[in-house]
Structure 1
């Protein structure tokens, strides 16, 4: 599932650099599924849904995707208008914060990569980056940076696929390893980088209270797994079984609400796990540090 506020219906794309669209080619974003509890950081003005821009001082809540234990993990970012897709890419290029690095997050996007332009048409976002994006690293690094870019941009519901350009030129193979990208890329192309349960909300360091809405996607046996909220001492505050829309080789979505009582505010975790099909043991596939409030 994808996360953003309703203001994204007007805010997805602002064009920069050499990829400026022709008049009439811009396409406004729709509201991503699972966004009803998100709130803009600042008050959002009323903006017609067909408008491709918002006022420059509008800020909306979004995510960028980094890697932790070689799997994708979303990190929260405030995305300023007028172009939130461009803002999301710039935030991705800036890399994880010190706190996120301390929590094990990293990025395979080379430092110094610049953004030249972003353009959306017919569900495809064309991103023009500087040539630095293709530098260094082997095939895992190349695939990882592509996965980060694709997941960051496809959080917007009107974006189905991502096409890459470097220094204004179309790219069909990335880096010395020759990773083939001769067509627009989708999330499905990077399934190996998605954890078995990808929790897209709440994200790392979020302030959470009960009831807590948890949503994302999963590819687990028979689509079944469990969610647990723990406090600072590791005590389980709630344990709830969840069923995704599909599983066992096919990634499905989930959207559930957890209710619990917090004895003392402070750090906690949202943990996704499933029972091993071999011996029934607990297999933890995602741990999201959060701040518990009453």
Structure 2
């Protein structure tokens, strides 16, 4: 019986080996046996955004105290002005010496006086002025109020109402001043009921241009927390009036009121209530002249 043999085709095996080699070459393995994916093509790095510069804080308003004559004698009135980039205490004292924007206020400090520096000695603010500070034409009442004027101005600018203030002149203790007082140790604020104007407008400031409605705010120490107000035009004709209630429980309490006004120039006047009917003297007032656009 004849035997048939199947003839091998060697080219088929070669093709199988070649295909297996290609497959293994295109899929490398990690030591754990898992295929390693192909790396993505390189990309350009995204630009790093520039850091946003911190916002620059607006300088807070420069507040100085000035003098006004009232039924109770000379009193201190607060006047809020534009902010300054310099030391706040120095800026406030310079403004106090320069003089007020409100024509109802005044100051006895010699306008030629220079602020030579402001330093701290513990809890005391030391204000050094030039020799011109020794020149002032005031009596004992005015001299005492000049001291309180500087004390109130410096301590408010420092946001330390309880701080003591010491005046030096050309670096030395002031000593005797204006032929009426001696200032050789730190002085703190006197009782505000004894030295401050009892009704005070802080906003708007004198000469401000604003829009309607106009919001008026400030501080007052008034009978039963009742503050009277009115608005007059330049001819003195009353345009609007009303009253505001101050917050209770404080010596000087905040108040605020709003009034609609047509375009024009006006004077806003606030007045303490007078339960005595004039027996206590003319009520204390404060005013601001403003323009409504």
Query: Shorter-chain TM-score category?
Result: 0.5 to 0.7
What SS class does the counterpart of residue 179 from structure 2 fall into?
coil
2:240 is aligned to 237
- Structure-2 residue corresponding to 1:95: 99
Q: Paired residue for 1:272?
A: 270
Q: What's the TM-score, normalizing by structure 2?
A: 0.65
Q: Which has the higher contact order (CA 8 A, sep 6+)?
A: 1
Distance between the aligned counterparts of 1:239 and 1:228, measured in 2? 6
In structure 1, C-alpha distance between the alignment counterparts of 2:216 and 2:123, rounded to whole Å:
28
Task: Tell me by how many angstroms 1:178 deviates.
Answer: 2.5
Aligned residues: 231
The worse-fitting range, judged by mean Cα deviation, of 130-139 and 85-94 is: 130-139
Structure 1 residue 214, shift from structure 2 partner: 0.3
Is 2:153 the partner of 1:152?
yes
Matching residue of 1:178: 181
Question: Contact conserved, 1:171 with 1:182, CA < 8 A, in 2?
Answer: no
Task: Find the counterpart in structure 2 of residue 252 from structure 1.
Answer: 252
Indicate if the aligned counterparts of 2:167 and 2:183 stay in contact, CA closer than 8 A. Answer: no
Alignment match, 1:194: 196
- Residues 244 and 234 of structure 1: CA distance in aligned 2, closer, same or farther (over 3 Å): farther
Which residues of structure 2 form unaligned runs of 5+? 1-52
Alignment CA distance shift 1:150-1:244 (3 Å):
farther
- In the alignment, does 2:86 pair up with 1:82? yes
SS of residue matched to 1:119: strand
**1:1-294 correspondence runs (5 A):** 46=55, 60-69=60-69, 70-96=74-100, 100=102, 103-120=103-120, 124-137=124-137, 138-156=139-157, 158-160=159-161, 161=163, 162-171=165-174, 173-179=176-182, 182-186=185-189, 188=190, 191-209=193-211, 210-218=213-221, 220-232=222-234, 233-246=236-249, 251-256=251-256, 258-263=257-262, 265-279=263-277, 284-293=283-292
Give the TM-score, by structure 1 length.
0.65
Task: Let me know the Cα RMSD of the aligned residues.
Answer: 3.3
Structure 1 residue ranges without an equivalent (≥5): 1-43, 48-53
Given that 2:61 and 2:81 are in contact with CA atoms closer than 8 Å, whether structure 1 keeps it comes out as yes
Q: 1:238 to 1:197 in 2, by over 3 A?
A: same
Whether the 8 Å contact between 1:143 and 1:179 is mirrored in structure 2 is no
Deviation at 1:199, TM superposition (A): 2.5
Distance 1:213 1:112, change over 3 A: same
Output one character per residue of 1:203-259: Cα deviation in whole Å (capped at 9) or x when no partner. Answer: 3222344250402242x3334332333444532424123234347xxx322132x22
SS class of match (2:259): coil
In 2, distance between residues paired with 1:45 and 1:66?
36
